[in-house]
Amino acid sequence: MRPIPDWLVVESVSDSDIGVVTSGKEAQIDLVERTGPDGRTCLVARKRYLPREVHNKGELEALGFQRASTFRHDVRYREGRQFRKSRDRRAVERMTTYGKHLLQDRWTGHEYDVMSSLWEAGLTVPYPIGYSTDVLELEFVGDRSGAAPQLRSARLDRAGLARAFEQLVDGLTVIVAAGWAHGDLSAYNLL
């Protein structure tokens, strides 16, 4: 087990909002300063998922999927079956407020689990701090003056690019060795 990073303030006495890092259609990321009982502070990226439907029906139809009503039912049924308690299964199938909560929880929980196992394997992902129903808390990559730039706008010189490429190959090697494939690798998703 990798030890918990020493910069991390584990017990929060207060969290103060510093600003918005990014805001997209699925999630907003806020920068938060966390203060512990001894007055130590650390920066946390708080990724908050906006309430989401299981999928966007227009988008799926455009891609040639089945008629939305059949598909919706199918998705709900399939998602629902993954819950052991029949009460939970029914809630997801019917998409009640409680059912939506269950799915959302699994969503942030899944992102957290994948990041944890990759962090554990030594990958340079932000340290995943924790999650709740619609919030994922991560190590903030950056400092008080702002977030680290995405690779697409980092304006690296030749030597910097060579190092970034080497880091990328090392990272992908760790991901593959851990049994995963990156589903969204781009210069937007590398800092």
Q: Rule CB under 6 A: which residues touch ligand ATP?
A: 21-22, 24, 26-27, 29, 45, 126, 138-142, 147-148, 150, 188-189, 191
Using rule CB under 5 A, residue 189 touches Mg ion:
yes
Residue 93 exposure: Cα atoms within 13 Å on the Cβ side: 13
Taken in order 135, 141, 147, 153, the sign of the CA dihedral is negative
- Say how far apart CA 144 and CA 132 lie, in whole Å: 25
Question: Least Å distance between CB 190 and ligand ATP?
Answer: 8
Q: What is the dihedral angle through the alpha carbons of 144, 148, 154, 157, rounded to the nearest 10 degrees?
A: 80
Comparison of 80 and 128: residue with beta carbon closer to ligand ATP: 128
The span of 96-104, 137-145, 167-175, 182-190 binding Mg ion (CB under 5 A) equals 182-190
Tell me the residue nearest to Mg ion as measured from the CB.
189
Amino acid sitting at position 95: M
Q: Note whether 71 and 59 are within 8 A (CB).
A: no
Using rule CB under 5 A, residue 41 touches Mg ion:
no
Question: Least Å distance between CB 188 and Mg ion?
Answer: 6
Using rule CB under 5 A, residue 132 touches Mg ion:
no
Which of 123, 131, 130 lies closest to 173, judged by CA? 123
Question: Least Å distance between CB 115 and ligand ATP?
Answer: 10
Comparison of 88 and 164: residue with beta carbon closer to ligand ATP: 164
Comparison of 27 and 174: residue with beta carbon closer to ligand ATP: 27
- Say how far apart CA 133 and CA 109 lie, in whole Å: 8
